[in-house]
Amino acid sequence: MPIPKKTGLSRLTSSINHSWAGIVNAIFTEDAFRQLVVINIMLLIITFCLDITKTERVLLIMCSFMTLAVELINTAIETVVDRISLEIHPLSKRAKDLGGSAQLVTIVMTVIIWLVVLF
């Protein structure tokens, strides 16, 4: 018998609660996510202290959120791979390396955008 699906406002609130639980879990269990949160809080504060255009400010803020989102996706990939098997396998390594590479690309993008905006 299939599980009845939530609809409407109930579905929305349930989805938000599950998403928030994921963020809280990442904060308490993932060093890399915690470090990014601290760094991005500092960058956001700096963003509002800079004399830049609104467009530049939005771009810098978007970079901060992008690094956090990609880190959450990377963590999800690593969690699923570990759930399947803790055995060392070339495809598991590839999946984890690709997730980490996505994060590296996002961080490099953020550094470049900050440098362009500041200089």
Other C-beta atoms within 10 Å of 72: how many? Answer: 19
Residue 32 lies in a domain: yes
| 2 occurs within a structural domain | no
pLDDT given at position 107: 96
Would 97 be classed as within a structural domain?
yes
> Token digits for 102?
């996505």
Q: How many residues does the chain have?
A: 119
Q: Write out the binding residues.
A: 11, 30, 57, 71, 78, 87-89, 96-97
**For residues 14 and 42, what is the distance between their CA atoms, to the nearest angstrom?**
31
Q: What is the pLDDT of residue 68?
A: 97
* CA-angle at 74, arms to 73 and 80, nearest 5°: 90
Cβ-based neighbours of 65, under 8 Å, separated by 6 or more: 40
Q: Could you tell me if residue 5 is inside a domain?
A: no
The pLDDT of residue 19: 96
Taking Cα atoms as reference points, which of 53, 54, 56, 63 lies closest to residue 110? 63
d(C-alpha 36, C-alpha 42), whole Å: 10
Per DSSP, helices labelled H in 50-89 are 54-84
Please list the pLDDT of the chain residue by residue as tens digits (119 residues): 777 788 888 899 999 999 999 999 999 999 999 999 999 999 999 999 999 999 999 999 999 999 999 999 999 999 999 999 988 999 999 999 999 999 999 999 999 999 999 99
Residue ranges for the known binding site for substrate are 11, 57, 71
Residue 91 lies in a domain: yes
Which residues are part of a known binding site for a divalent metal cation? 30, 78
Q: Does residue 26 form part of some domain?
A: yes
Is 1 domain-assigned? Answer: no
What pLDDT, on a 0 to 100 scale, did the predictor assign at position 67? 97
Domain count, the chain: 1
Chain segment 96-111, per-residue pLDDT in tens: 999 999 999 999 999 9
Does 14 map to a domain? yes
The span from the CA of 44 to the CA of 66, in Å, is 13
- The enclosing domain of 59 has a CATH number of 1.10.287.3610
pTM attached to this predicted model: 0.87
Active-site residue, 56 included: no
Q: Which domain holds residue 84?
A: 10-118
71, 75, 103, 110: which is the annotated catalytic residue? 71
Q: Which residue has the tokens 């993008």?
A: 109
